[in-house]
Chain A
């Protein structure tokens, strides 16, 4: 039904897809597996006409489509349900469905509503056509997306980008039932996932992607072994050294710095992402928590940093609670925070390097002042020292932080947070998107802090290699539950924990 051949796509310097083949056949559900950044979403966006490949061919229903547009793809029956829903919250379900339709001067709400109800009934999913999307739960919104993709007929290929990542377990069953019904009705379904068990239970065939390449294709998903697939997904990560990696051996424990008890938290949409995290971070260690994106890592980092109130449990640093009291209070208790989005959350890009460095309270408290005024010279001197110590390459300290490269922006965030001399540093995906040199520099700073100061670090990362490389102990978040990896556990064991939640 849909064939992709030798698809290549580069974004600037990053190769997202390097010669990928994929076939989707009518009446089959094909699973696409891979780590974050493996190229799954890019590949599906190519199939839906949202991304034009640099090379390769797209064949839909037997005809080559060299310049596929989203509209053309939709006409040919290729429909996609995105991971991040594309719905307008203030509009009703019917209006959202009509938005996706081409042309027409007059809105035929009644017909659209009828189609929605019919489609929903066919799939055995409950959807209320007149409800406003903003009043719907995440699971309901996804049903709206699904119905929108199918209502009005003509669908031949259905692509779902990580459809279960936002669902609670009871919502997953009905979705799978609906997808099986669609398959039996002759639709070609592509299912992107990273939870092995789900993919194996639902899909007929599967493809494993890693770093933009196909590393395995199975026509019969049932013949695949979970441990082999986990290794293919995770193990192929950093070719060579990767397969040999393992969690570090047990070591003598220092006094506890952070004690987290039974933490749970909801994301902004209200889904409980973090369900049960109990752990201790000790003096002189880097505790690395890894896991596939969307398993509660972001929420955990925010809770410990004081930014997000937990729905249950508490995090304590020394004798002071840091969770649920606000970021300022946690910072005063000695928790520094390197957020995973340096551009949106780590820095104020429109402020200068000097000003960004002065944003932390302690740094500001130490700066010399003349009455109420900051001494410009002191600000610049502080910045020059920080920039030198952390090797931030910047044309000057009075340029906007937005003018720096990603690696240097990240070093700037690290400089600000580490120079605060925190009791605990929380770093979330500190090297995502960085090149090799910048990654090494960031790791160097984290290790240096541990070695020279005996300080504690909580490293939350989706990159297992990073966790193994610099973590002293490793925990895995799966479905919001924290599992501790045994000292010395191999990366195959940890990889299986990440993808199946089982040892």
Chain B
């Protein structure tokens, strides 16, 4: 199998995937009496039609890109971090705690401080499952998903009766971040903000790490075949431990970006389950960072488009969820059949 042929197969699969999802949606639209062409054009225009609309799509895609990168980094090391949601929240909590109190500091100090706090918060949220896996071999799937609940409830406590509750004490939300701690917006209408270049840099760094460094090679080797990596002398358990902490800190950064650029304060239900959507983004992107970026953009566009579909064509916005679900199911199917085919080829060759 050469690289070129491998890439060709991936492209064909992606095309089949999108076509199958489109067909599913088409059937649904027709079944419920909508005009699919109208719906498609509304969706496309809402997401990409004008520079302003596209900016909104980018704003929606930004946290998905960061979180998708976080999930992909972990999954590439065969570390099944399903706790991005909690790590996102932990990052947002740390960013808020620092950001609200950062009033006297200039932006050049406050913003890096907020981001660093968020990364530390995310890593902290990932550390109990990481330590449990390192020390006891406890499956991180269990640890990370449980932490989502722990941190969700922690957020409720902090905002309802804890130290992050707003001074006015009216709603279960925090005070706004100090102006100097907020990420600057380039455009107030779309809220396009400085988090986007940060997200792109992060994704680029992750991509270069995985594809071009020795550490990235060891990371991938540990994920693809832990036994062989171990026999070659790679400290597989340590790699997995670090992968989970790094993944958590990237997810935490996503929380800081959302709170410092978009909402500017923390409230209950802040994540809205975005950490779970990020798993779908990472899987749809086959854990390859450039493809994860494309998947994040696609999910962002669906999110924006679905809202206007309801306004313009009275198509229920849950349609976007149907598309996401269909894509995910199909991509899981492809991944499995791809693995089987690869195994067959390898066996035939041997």
Query: Which A residues form the contact surface with B (CB < 8 A)?
Result: 305, 307, 326-328, 330-332, 337, 339, 343-351, 355, 358-361, 364, 367, 369, 372-374, 376, 395-396, 398-400, 402-406, 409, 416
Contact = CB atoms under 8 A, between A and B. Distances in A.
Contacts of A400: 1, 346
B136 interface: no
Given A373-B208, A373-B213, A409-B350, A402 B345 contact: yes
B132 to A, nearest CB: 20
B76 to A, nearest CB: 11
Sort A-B residue pairs by CB-CB distance and give the 8 closest, nearest first: A402-B346, A331-B233, A359-B232, A348-B225, A373-B212, A406-B350, A328-B233, A350-B224
Given A351-B220, A373-B208, A398-B3, A343 B350 contact: yes
B101 interface: no
7 contacts: A347-B225, A350-B342, A358-B214, A374-B213, A398-B3, A402-B346, A416-B232
A413 B214 CA distance: 19
A327 B208 contact: no
B231 A327 contact: yes
B214 A364 contact: yes
B146 interface: no
Most chain A CB within a 10 A radius of its CB, from B212, B220, B231, B346 = B231
B230 A359 contact: no
Nearest to B5: A399
Contacts of A404: 349-350
A359 B349 contact: no
Contacts of A361: 233
A374 B212 contact: yes
Nearest to A398: B3
Contacts, number: 97
Interface in B1-49: 1-3
Contacts of A346: 228, 231
A376 B2 CA distance: 17
A326 B349 contact: no
A441 to B, nearest CB: 16
Given A344-B228, A351-B220, A360-B232, A403 B349 contact: yes
B204 interface: no
> Chain B at the A interface: mostly helix, strand, loop or mixed?
helix
B227 interface: yes
Contact of A359 (B208, B218, B235): B218
Contacts of B220: 351, 355
Nearest to A350: B224
Interface string B222-253: 00110111111111000000000000000000
Nearest to A362: B233
Interface in B318-350: 342, 345-346, 349-350
B217 interface: yes
A65 to B, nearest CB: 30
Contacts of B342: 350, 402
A339 B233 CA distance: 12
Interface of B: 1-3, 208, 212-215, 217-218, 220-221, 224-225, 227-235, 342, 345-346, 349-350
A359 B350 contact: no
Contact of A399 (B1, B213, B230, B231): B1
Contacts of A326: 235
A398 B234 CA distance: 21
A376 B214 CA distance: 11
B214 A374 contact: yes
Contact of A395 (B2, B214, B221, B227): B2
A347 B225 CA distance: 8
A404 B350 CA distance: 7
B349 A402 contact: yes
A67 to B, nearest CB: 26
A317 B234 CA distance: 20
A376 to B, nearest CB: 8
Contact of B224 (A351, A360, A373, A409): A351
Given A346-B228, A346-B231, A405 B350 contact: yes
B227 A344 contact: yes
A398 to B, nearest CB: 6
A351 B221 contact: yes
Contacts of A343: 346, 350
Nearest to B238: A328
A403 B221 contact: no
Given A355-B221, A360-B232, A399-B1, A345 B227 contact: yes
A494 to B, nearest CB: 29
A405 B234 CA distance: 25
Nearest to B339: A350
B229 A405 contact: no
Nearest to B2: A399
Contact of B231 (A337, A369, A398): A337
Contact of B221 (A348, A372, A373): A348
A339 B231 contact: yes
Contact of A396 (B2, B213, B224, B234): B2
A271 to B, nearest CB: 20
Given A343-B350, A359-B229, 5 more contacts: A344-B227, A347-B228, A348-B221, A348-B228, A374-B212
Contacts of A330: 233
A276 to B, nearest CB: 25
A336 to B, nearest CB: 9
Contacts of A367: 214
A346 B2 CA distance: 21
A350 B225 contact: yes
A330 to B, nearest CB: 8
A305 B346 CA distance: 28
A163 to B, nearest CB: 28
A330 B3 CA distance: 35
A307 B230 contact: yes
Nearest to B6: A400
A93 to B, nearest CB: 26
B217 A403 contact: no
A330 B345 CA distance: 35
A364 B235 CA distance: 15
Contacts of A344: 225, 227-228
A438 to B, nearest CB: 12
Nearest to A342: B228
Contacts of B224: 348-351
Contact of B235 (A305, A328, A349, A399): A328
B231 A355 contact: no
A372 B213 contact: yes
A344 B350 CA distance: 13
Contact of A349 (B229, B232, B346): B346
A405 B225 contact: no
